[in-house]
Amino acid sequence: MSKYSINENGYYGEFGGAYVPEILRKNVVELKENYLKIMGDPQFQAEFNQLLHDYVGRPTALYHANRLSKKYGANIYLKREDLCHTGAHKLNNALGQILLARRLGKTRIVAETGAGQHGVATATVCALMNMECVVYMGETDVKRQFLNVQRMKMLGATVVPVMSGNRTLKDGTNEAIRDWCCNPANTHYIIGSVVGPDPYPDMVARFQSVISEEIKKQLQEQTGRDYPDHLLACIGGGSNAAGTFYHYIENEKVRLYAAEAAGLGLEDPEKSAATIHLGREGILHGSRSLVMMDEDGQITEPYSISAGLDYPGVGPMHAYLAKVGRTKVLAITDAEAMTAALELTKLEGIIPAIESAHALAMLPKLKFGKDETVVITVSGRGDKDMNTYANYFKLA
Ligand SMILES: *Cc1c(COP(=O)(O)O)cnc(C)c1O
């Protein structure tokens, strides 16, 4: 085991653990005792891999972005998670978890969602597997992300608007956990990122690790070497970054960069979602990590133009990797992300999700050698963000 892996108690350094109400202890233990066994079962792997291929559309392309490369003076490749079915990397994890839930005999799924992407991915796999699906979503987000609400409903999910707190992702998550507490026997909670109590962070990272598994193969084919010099991803909870970094964490020749959302800047914590820069150690949604909180320890409402990055916590793995210096974390403002989104659109004809644009916005802030290889994960496509883009760029 390496210094970067999770330990048997579910900690990355001092971050992680399983802080759950007594009533969920049994579920969390059941998951912990079974997830590696089930994921390692050849039959499970065969079914998962087949669906990743035929249903999700994997492997996703690793695309050499010519004009972007010219502009930044390096060999830049895009890992195209935007090409996944439903528009983002989230389906990799939702699919893996529902297959696992079925093997544990669960018949009902609950999930939280903020921007609605994880809710859509979960509703999608529930339709596929014919399972009951309840998605908790803050009422503010229900209004902001109406298209995704309609998608979830068409897919057969029940979308419950949550009226507590600021009525956003944190509140949806609280409510999903509450539901799980009431229905522990038949229900599995599909968490959408590398957050939550042990073993979720590690389980989700493993389901997303297909991203770096493919990058290795594809880079080898395209460049004759299976690792890049620089590897870039954005972080909300951190699942696309975890998947992007997974098979490279031990290879110290690969420099890892994560972009978190600075919103309007780091000066005002109420206008930012840069948890690693601004957060303090605390417990949120079942694990110890960095958390945005006020002086009294109350969780604060983060802000970012990107609905998928405004989470007040971050996966314990990322809190740890940043702390020990394995990753370099950059805070990207709304304006920087929007500029990067427009640049990718104009140079390569790819409209990224605003979340992904945060990763792209690191390019002008980093220095690359001329022959160096850079891989950026484009976590999702921009369709869901067209209203925001249209208003921001005043597209007629
Ligand atoms: C949800 C989402 C994110 C943020 O979640 P992570 O767990 O940090 O990956 C990033 N990009 C897109 C497109 C998303 O939908």
Q: Is 379 a catalytic residue?
A: yes
Residue spans of the domains in the chain: they are 19-51+90-204, 59-87+209-393
d(CA 94, CA 129): 11
Looking at residue 208, its pLDDT comes to 98
The backbone torsions φ and ψ at residue 154, rounded to the nearest 5 degrees and listed phi first, read: -65, -35
Mean pLDDT across the chain, nearest whole number? 96
**37-86 residue pLDDT tens:** 999 999 999 999 999 999 999 999 999 999 999 999 999 999 999 999 99
Q: Which element (helix H / strand E) includes 279?
A: none
Q: Is 112 a catalytic residue?
A: yes
Tokens at 176, concatenated: 């999903």
Supply the pTM of this predicted model. 0.98
pLDDT band, residue 4 (cuts 50/70/90): very high
Question: Long-range contact list for 365-372, CB < 8 A, 24+ apart?
Answer: 365/330, 366/230, 366/257, 368/72, 368/73, 368/74, 368/229, 368/230, 369/74, 369/229, 370/73, 370/74, 371/74, 371/75, 372/74, 372/75, 372/228, 372/229, 372/230
Put the strands of the sheet holding 108-113 in their side by side order: 158-162, 132-138, 108-113, 187-189
pLDDT surpasses 70 at 210: yes
Instruction: Report CA torsion sign: 57, 62, 63, 68.
Output: positive
Can you tell me which residue has the tokens 């960069």? Answer: 257
pLDDT band, residue 344 (cuts 50/70/90): very high
Cβ atoms 58, 96 nearer than 8 A: no
CB 353 near ligand 1, within 6 Å:
yes
Catalytic residue among 79, 90, 106, 384: 90
Ligand 1 atom index nearest CA of 81: 13
Tokens at 53, concatenated: 């291929």
Q: Tell me: cis bond preceding 42? Omega within 30 of 0 counts.
A: no
Tokens at 147, concatenated: 């298209």
Give the residue from 62, 50, 137, 154 showing the smallest Cα distance to 96: 50
**Domain pair 19-51+90-204 / 59-87+209-393, same fold:** yes
Region 59-87+209-393: CATH code: 3.40.50.1100
Cβ atoms 117, 88 nearer than 8 A: yes
Tell the residue nearest (CA) to atom 1 of ligand 1: 308
**269-306 residue pLDDT tens:** 899 999 999 999 999 999 999 999 999 989 998 999 99
pLDDT surpasses 80 at 246: yes
Tokens at 170, concatenated: 């944190």
Looking at residue 3, its pLDDT comes to 85
Catalytic residue among 272, 343, 379, 384: 379
Strands 327-333 and 255-263 turn out to be parallel
Find the mean pLDDT for residues 319-329: 98
pLDDT surpasses 70 at 116: yes
Looking at residue 2, its pLDDT comes to 79
Looking at residue 1, its pLDDT comes to 63
d(CA 284, CA 302): 14
Q: Does domain 19-51+90-204 fall into CATH 1.10.287.610?
A: no
pLDDT surpasses 90 at 307: no
SS3 225: coil
Tokens at 191, concatenated: 């968490």
How many angstroms separate the alpha carbon of residue 235 from the centre of ligand 1? 7
Find the mean pLDDT for residues 339-366: 98
Put the strands of the sheet holding 11-12 in their side by side order: 11-12, 15-16, 287-291, 280-284
Ligand 1 atom index nearest CA of 353: 13
Find the mean pLDDT for residues 192-200: 97
Tell the residue nearest (CA) to atom 7 of ligand 1: 239
CB 113 near ligand 1, within 6 Å:
no
Cβ atoms 171, 141 nearer than 8 A: no
